[in-house]
Chain A
Amino acid sequence: MTNENVILRLTDVVKTFPGVVALGGVELEVRAGEVHCLLGQNGAGKSTLIKVLSGVHKPDSGTVQWLGEEVAFANPQAAMKAGIATIYQELDLVEDMSVAENVYLGHEPRSLGFVNRSLMARNTSGILAQLGHAEVVPTRLVRVLSSAGKQLVSMARALSHQAKLIIMDEPSAVLAHDEVENLFRIIRELTAQGIAVVYISHRLEEIREIGDRVTVLKDGRTSAVNLPARTTPTRDLVSRMTGRTIEYVFPPRGDAQPGDKLLEVKGLNRSGEFHDVSLSVHSGEIVGIAGLVGSGRSELLETIFGARRADSGTVTMNGTQLRPGSVGASVKAGLGLAPEERKSQALMLGEPVYRNMTLSTFADLASAGFTSTEKEQAAALGAAKQLDLKPLDVRRSAGTLSGGNQQKVVVGRWLLGGTKLLILDEPTRGVDVGARAELYQVIRGLTEQGVGVLLVSSEVPEVLGLADRVLVMREGRVIRHTAAGELTEEDVLDLVMAGSLETAGEEAA
């Protein structure tokens, strides 16, 4: 069992983006007919690796051998033609086209220049039967299918290209529990036909059940290759993913006891997003929420802030209950949100920094409805100095700043408004390592002024290092609530990655 059935081999693949080494030497070996699992934390380089395999990115150095030959795919179409298909989490289907049209999108069977619809439908039926789902009608609109059905269409599309390798990026994330079993059955059908699957998931239970071998990524490097999926102990897998080589520099926690209770959330529910969440944040305290993408964290924050309306439950600030679904009321009560998507949700990139900073306060700085540029620039400059904004020029347009400094602008916006409770959703996403340390200082510094902070991050060490108290969320529920010092990174990963199939039910009870 050495070389003869290896279809894909990556050797020392490096991919850098300006300022970031996304992949710093990755090995990967995939055999025909196996399910090869890719494991790694957020930011470990999984997405970049997928994009290298599927021809979206070209590696800077290293070799990609496909079917024994060294290749460099010029674009995704080239990879597809060579037989590598990728099924992304966000399925790239056209909702208002039929199943068959989606399967053959871009390579429709033709006769005399016209699309041969009956042949297309027949072929699609054949592929669907091959996947064990002959009951799906090729002429149905994709829009009416469930998530599982849409995934099936994506896979059928891969097969229509005669794919020999299918990359699946967290395919179970969008599926209900019983649908996951079905997905596994399809994967087994595929591998039985000699097709290899690269399977990416955070759920260890799934890897145990479906995987053959595991490759672990950490900080853009492979920290373990070709571990047996069923027998490698969980501790081993988790320890390969953790223990950063990147240093996180967290400011020391103050000795001061947290002050009065600022925010109290009781029994907050939003159907399909999170269930029965209760939490509190005191003045001068950082409360961190750890959890995977899709665990309902961002939705929870937006609901607390009033940007979404809760189905039930209350949010109380300083003893006053907030009007549900009203951002205005929340801002008046002293809440501020630095949202997850900085560019699309927080900034006007073409506008100068000071106008971005005063977006929630320009009316207060105005007199009789007339805005004051001088006052606004002065206020913004004060906040910019406090946050050590670089460059220290509030008239520059926000789009020209680095990610870390853009985040400072958003934080500065709430500083100006005298915000008492700051909600930070992924504050260091897209921020380079040096600037992160600065942001941590800024956040800690705010608490010394009595601000309470509610923080969400996909990076577990960030939550543990920065927060005073930690909530662990999984699938819309808070499953652990403790002081930050009492949890290790491994503990948290164990909690959030524990198989969803068995344990989700008992917590609901």
Chain B
Amino acid sequence: MTTTTTPQTQQPAATPRVSFWRDEAKEPWRRNLALIGVLILLFIIGAVIRPELYGDPKWVFDNMMVILQQASAIGVVTVGMTFIIIGGGIDLSVGALIALAGVWCTTVATQSFGSAGMIFTAVAVGVGAGLVNGVLIAYGRLVPFIATLAMLVAARGLAARISGKQTQVSTDQFINSIASTRPFGIPMLALILVAVAALGWVLLNRTTFGRRTVAIGGNAEAARLAGINVRRHTMLLYALSGLCCGIAAIMLTSLATSSQAAAAELYELDAIAAAIIGGTLLTGGRGTIVGSMIGVVIFATITNLFAITNTPTEAQNMVKGGIIVLAVLIQQLKFKSVKQMLIRT
């Protein structure tokens, strides 16, 4: 056996062109297209039920802006949640952190520092609480579910304590004006969401931070053995989620011109659901910001549809629960294998 194989036998890198519908790398695109299809479907349903409203283009545009306004705070939180879930974790404390940051930044003492003081406080409280989550999970080896569940309870408690269970009215003109400003007819809050989502997209897809997130969620042990500081990054992910909560707290305070300890209730569920509907894998390693954002808009549109058709809240929640189950089922069925079956027949 003296023959040595010559390396000349290799084929040129001829990658056959894969069709858009089969290429695995295009899976997120296909999913997002399907989600947009769902949005259009929801629009049609609305038009069928209330044709007199949907016949008026001005009403339709205004209604879309209402939907975006309602989706904005949840959307910002979902950006952070998407990072967390892609990184292989979960954050149940986001709603509570929004309430805590909102209450803290609207105390009489904080308001005396003006708009900048309020914004700084909200962000600092969010990041600080997120860091506590991160340290507990990354260095204290707590399961994310447990650590953030504890934070949920504790933060709500602290928020109630600070506010004395009272609604705290914001007297800051600047903060209050954010939600009512409409540059080019588009609500300011929606623009903030777009900005946060865009930054999140860049962070996830174009930076080393995003790459670490995907690597750790995809295979934490491989990332560790490749020299990535998994613990520090995990901690930073929860701080990022906290930062999003701080921003969302300002947005909600502006919208209501007040804050209270019971604010943003169940936001964690909406954010997780939106991320999952948008294609984020609950086991980590895969997900897109665009998908999550469409997920948020779908949820807001459904809520809006219910409002237009005067459906009671209980029914709304039941339908929402059904949608989450459906989304996860579709994720498990793996979309593409269904697609392949369709192609074959």
Contact = CB atoms under 8 A, between A and B. Distances in A.
Given A370-B206, A392-B13, A348 B218 contact: yes
Interface string A331-347: 11000010100001111
B182 to A, nearest CB: 33
14 contacts: A249-B1, A331-B226, A337-B225, A345-B225, A346-B219, A348-B215, A348-B219, A359-B222, A359-B223, A371-B206, A371-B207, A388-B10, A391-B11, A395-B15
Given A393-B15, A395-B25, A369 B226 contact: no
Interface in A328-380: 328, 330-332, 337, 339, 344-352, 355, 359-360, 362-363, 366, 369-371
B7 interface: yes
A155 interface: no
A347 B4 CA distance: 30
A437 interface: yes
Interface string B190-230: 00000000000000001111110011001101111111110
Nearest to A438: B5
Contacts of A330: 227
Interface in A267-283: none
Given A327-B224, A327-B225, A346-B222, A366 B207 contact: yes
Nearest to B230: A327
Interface string A375-408: 0000000000000101111011100000000000
A307 B210 CA distance: 24
B1 A332 contact: no
A340 to B, nearest CB: 11
Contacts of A150: none
A339 B225 contact: yes
A328 B222 contact: no
**Residue among A249, A305, A347, A351 facing the most chain B CB atoms (10 A cut-off):** A351
Given A332-B227, A395-B15, A351 B206 contact: no
Contacts of A441: 4
Contact of A392 (B4, B11, B285): B11
Q: Which 8 A-B pairs have the closest CB atoms?
A: A331-B227, A348-B218, A360-B226, A359-B226, A392-B13, A363-B208, A348-B219, A360-B227
Given A331-B226, A337-B225, A362 B10 contact: no
Given A390-B10, A397-B24, A347 B225 contact: no
B156 interface: no
Given A247-B1, A339-B225, A350 B211 contact: no
Interface residues on A, range: 35 or more
Contact of A350 (B5, B208, B229, B285): B285
A371 B214 CA distance: 13
B14 to A, nearest CB: 9
Interface of A: 247, 249, 305, 307, 327-328, 330-332, 337, 339, 344-352, 355, 359-360, 362-363, 366, 369-371, 388, 390-393, 395-397, 413, 437-438, 441
**Residue among B208, B209, B221 facing the most chain A CB atoms (10 A cut-off):** B208
A437 B7 CA distance: 13
A45 B129 CA distance: 55
**Residue among A247, A355, A360, A388 facing the most chain B CB atoms (10 A cut-off):** A360
A404 to B, nearest CB: 13
B215 to A, nearest CB: 6
B241 to A, nearest CB: 19
Given A348-B214, A395-B15, 7 more contacts: A327-B227, A350-B285, A351-B215, A351-B285, A362-B211, A370-B208, A371-B210
Interface in B213-265: 214-215, 218-219, 221-229
A330 B225 CA distance: 10
Interface string B282-302: 000110000000000000000
A370 B222 contact: no
A480 B210 CA distance: 47
Contacts of B11: 390-392
Contacts of B208: 362-363, 366, 369-371
A351 B225 CA distance: 17
A247 B2 CA distance: 11
Interface string B24-36: 1100000000000
B233 to A, nearest CB: 11
A390 B10 CA distance: 8
B13 A391 contact: yes
A184 B220 CA distance: 42
Given A247-B1, A390-B10, A307 B225 contact: yes
Contacts of B207: 366, 369-371
Contacts of A350: 218, 285-286
A349 to B, nearest CB: 8
Nearest to B227: A331
A352 B214 CA distance: 12
Contacts of A351: 214-215, 218, 285
Nearest to A346: B222
B237 to A, nearest CB: 16
B16 to A, nearest CB: 10
A359 B226 CA distance: 6
B297 to A, nearest CB: 27
Contacts of A371: 206-208, 210-211
A360 B285 CA distance: 17
A327 B225 CA distance: 6
A347 B224 contact: no
A497 to B, nearest CB: 29
A366 B206 CA distance: 9
